Amino acid sequence: MEKTIISTTQVPVINLDTARKAVVNVVGKTGELLQTYANALCQHFNLVDNQGKVTTPWYDLQGKDGKAVEEERKKFKAAMESAGFDSDTANTYWGRVKDKSGRVKTKNKVTSKVDVDAENVKALKTILNRIDTTEPESAPMSFKVVKLLVQAADLMGVDVSAYAIGRGDE
């Protein structure tokens, strides 16, 4: 038996070819659109000298000079949120616009002369001391991996004989 669905409301017919073309035309264009917005922000807000050289990019403006940029950011965020995007997404795209405007992000690498091995040995000792003074019932996950921690500490030159944990004799 064939069922017939009768609609009481008119639903507009969406042409599948048109919808597909619209998606394909936008996919991959996000970078171009962000660059266009970034260019507009640069033209509007960058501080330049008499020769047209940028002295302060818009994303570095602060205080009185940065007020207009703050207002633009609020408008951008409000527009994103009214389009259904959350605050984190708006912040992410704002950061991408800054990047397209020439912002150079600093890497999160340790640049000082920190002895990573020494810091890790210190951290392992702290962890082992903490576990050594605790009951297994109060830290079941820690006691699950304690043998591995003791092995790691031993491989890094820590005298593990001071610890009763993790050697199978507890």
Under the banding of pLDDT at 50, 70 and 90, the label for residue 6 is low
* Most confident of the ranges 2-6, 125-129, 161-165: 125-129
Query: Is 0.85 surpassed by the pTM of this model?
Result: no
| Extents of the domains making up the chain | 16-100, 116-162
pLDDT at 16: 81
**Mean pLDDT on 57-74:** 94
Amino acid code (one letter) for 89: T
pLDDT over 60 (residue 109)? no
**Mean pLDDT on 161-169:** 65
Pair of tokens at residue 140? 């079941």
d(CA 128, CA 149): 7
pLDDT at 111: 58
Backbone angles phi, psi at 8, to 5 degrees: -90, -10
pLDDT over 90 (residue 47)? yes
pLDDT at 43: 93
Q: For all residues of the chain together, what is the average pLDDT? A: 84
Residue 133 near residue 98 (C-beta atoms within 8 A): no
pLDDT at 23: 73
d(CA 45, CA 68): 8
pLDDT at 84: 92
**Mean pLDDT on 80-93:** 92
